[in-house]
Structure 1
């Protein structure tokens, strides 16, 4: 599958139409050193600093470049600019996903710059992300203090083994594509189309499977009944 760069926010998953020439992932160490009497300097291992990701590319005005990855769901530059600016205005993290890599993390958009150049109305941009770690306070509840715990009546209710659709599997698709897993933006209908599953939403959404073509190009979201594993 060809690499794709995705952002997900409030159930909407978008793919950047053109991959950058270079994507930089930076994970710095945060180790410390101390001087110990009669021993010298020692190194103390600590958790790594927040990861950062940066890349630059352009947003095409027209769907006429052969290397566009979103030809089946093409959007003009304004769509992406509005999306990014809405996320920044909300002051919330976005999920950044780069397929065929280990990059799949919540991140804050630190910097977004875009410009216009002479010629086509394409927009050139630079994006910088910093990994987001949510600070949580763990709450501990104590009950039946001083008494012998009774027998637990809870049962392990594992997920159904009947669902054999997994990320990366090849499927035949018969159904209508949508822009997000909630069913917004209905698009073209596929008939006996051979593609791949790259994202799955198992939380009761009506269109839980995200389909790509065999080369990783973004297609859209479909219902459970629309796919058959081959």
Structure 2
């Protein structure tokens, strides 16, 4: 199978018409150096930094050329530019996938440069990405307890609440994974796996798409396969 590059923008996939000739991925750690008395400089270990990478390619005017991926959408170079500009200006999350290369990273577009080099009307571009990590703030409300002299009654156990499944929530998955929400491509079976819901297709037989907690994709499952944490 030939290598293909996808840009998945908010769940919609775009196959690049021409693969980049080169891609280099930078993975760093936020270590820092400090001076310690009677010991000198030491390296203080930090957490993993966000991955970033970039590549160059072009959008061909002639979509029937032999070097163009036949599976890509036949967009004009100008429409390709508008699609990426819209994703960048709208702060859209973009998942970059390189098949058979082990590249599957949720990102944001950091920079996008494009232009013309000759009379073919091909658009040449350079694009850079930075890894995106899901996060959310937690707010803590302080409640002052009232002092009561009345005799305390034993607390009654509250019935468990059925929390709704929403995009971004964590769930426990027990069920078989599928390639799409219609049930195509059945794969591995999850057992008591802690996952995250990133897409919901209401009305489908397999309405929930789950990922690893770090964003790595798993597949679509039935509603009865997930239970919110």
What does residue range 130-209 of structure 1 map to in structure 2 within 5 Å?
130-138=130-138, 158-160=174-176, 165-166=185-186, 203-204=201-202
Question: SS state of the match for residue 81, structure 1?
Answer: helix
Size of the aligned set, in residue pairs, is 176
The question of whether the paired residues in 2 share the 8 Å contact of 1:15 and 1:70 is answered with no
Q: 1:153 to 1:89 in 2, by over 3 A?
A: closer
Q: 1:164 to 1:65 in 2, by over 3 A?
A: closer
Alpha-carbon RMSD: 3.8
Q: 1:10 to 1:71 in 2, by over 3 A?
A: closer
Question: SS state of the match for residue 81, structure 2?
Answer: helix
Q: How far apart are residue 94 of structure 1 and its match?
A: 1.8
Residue in structure 2 matched with residue 41 of structure 1 by the alignment = 41
Residue in structure 1 matched with residue 111 of structure 2 by the alignment = 111
Q: How far apart are residue 71 of structure 1 and its match?
A: 4.5
The question of whether the paired residues in 1 share the 8 Å contact of 2:7 and 2:95 is answered with yes
Question: SS state of the match for residue 57, structure 1?
Answer: strand
Alpha-carbon separation, structure 2, partners of 1:17 and 1:152: 55
The question of whether the paired residues in 1 share the 8 Å contact of 2:59 and 2:124 is answered with yes
Alpha-carbon separation, structure 2, partners of 1:8 and 1:148: 50
Question: SS state of the match for residue 158, structure 1?
Answer: strand
Alpha-carbon separation, structure 2, partners of 1:84 and 1:101: 23
Q: How far apart are residue 61 of structure 1 and its match?
A: 0.8
**TM value normalised by structure 2:** 0.61
**What are structure 1's unaligned runs of at least 5 residues?**
168-200, 209-230
Question: SS state of the match for residue 111, structure 1?
Answer: strand
Residue in structure 1 matched with residue 6 of structure 2 by the alignment = 6
Question: Which protein shows a greater Rg?
Answer: 2
Q: 1:72 to 1:84 in 2, by over 3 A?
A: closer
What does residue range 8-27 of structure 1 map to in structure 2 within 5 Å?
8-27=8-27
Q: Which moved more, 1:95-104 or 1:47-56?
A: 95-104
Higher relative contact order (CA 8 A, sep 6+): 1
Q: How far apart are residue 113 of structure 1 and its match?
A: 1.0
Q: Which moved more, 1:8-17 or 1:64-73?
A: 64-73
**TM value normalised by structure 1:** 0.61
Q: How far apart are residue 18 of structure 1 and its match?
A: 0.5
The question of whether the paired residues in 2 share the 8 Å contact of 1:63 and 1:71 is answered with no
Q: How far apart are residue 40 of structure 1 and its match?
A: 2.9
